[in-house]
Amino acid sequence: IIPWSNNFYTYYNQILYGMAEKNDIPLDKPLKELSDDQVDAILYGKNGERIRVNYVNSYGEKNSFTSSFEGVVTNLRRRYLETKSDASREEIEKYMTTTLCPRCRGKRLREEILWVLIGDKSINDVTSLSIRECYQFFESLALSPREHIIARQVIKEIQERLKFLIDVGLDYLTMDRPAGSLSGGEAQRIRLATQVGSSLVGVLYV
């Protein structure tokens, strides 16, 4: 395990060996020769399973302790989120990559949710529109009289919020834009639109 390859991570490796021994996982084989369950156990742990770990310390004394194995990926994710050290974060980032989820294909929604359509669009289709396109979509949405009664207030509030964003010049943003990718000015204008939408009085935007 490359992220745990120096002596600092001996503790984690000892727990890994204990988990592998308990679950008959051969650590001397390449990952591609292990079963999916065995790989999952190494990467994501065994759901809190308690493991007896036997080891020999630097004085040659035999000792043991009981612990659980959280998994390599889970361990790296936890340390990445908890650390306040930029150097530690950069070190962990060497082992990080972005991949599409094979089930949702990057849409971050359950497959069943995508079966539900508004007009001819799923919720993912709607959130991939720009703010102006989304406003126009709801403005031209064809509904039956019954659907109009049910959705009228919801659509009204959606359009009002979108209009605030258009009014502060953010009509080009897409609805699924990650917050972390916004510029400082864009984030500030979103906060402004939120304040305007809360019916404040006496607010002047320059």
Domains 2-93 and 129-197 share a fold: no
pTM value is 0.52
Q: How far apart are CA 39 and CA 61, in angstroms?
A: 32
CATH 1.20.1580.10 for domain 129-197: yes
- Per-residue pLDDT, averaged over 97-120, amounts to 82
Query: Hunting for tokens 């964003």 — which residue is that?
Result: 165
Residue ranges of alpha helices (H) inside the chain are 10-22, 36-44, 72-82, 86-93, 111-114, 123-127, 131-139, 145-167, 184-197
pLDDT band, very low/low/confident/very high, at 205 (cuts 50, 70, 90): low
> How would you class 111 by CB atoms within 10 Å of its CB: exposed for 0-12, middle for 13-18, buried for 19 or more?
exposed
Q: According to the CATH classification, is domain 2-93 in 1.20.120.400?
A: no
Going by pLDDT thresholds of 50, 70 and 90, the confidence category of residue 204 is low
Domain boundaries, the chain: 2-93, 129-197
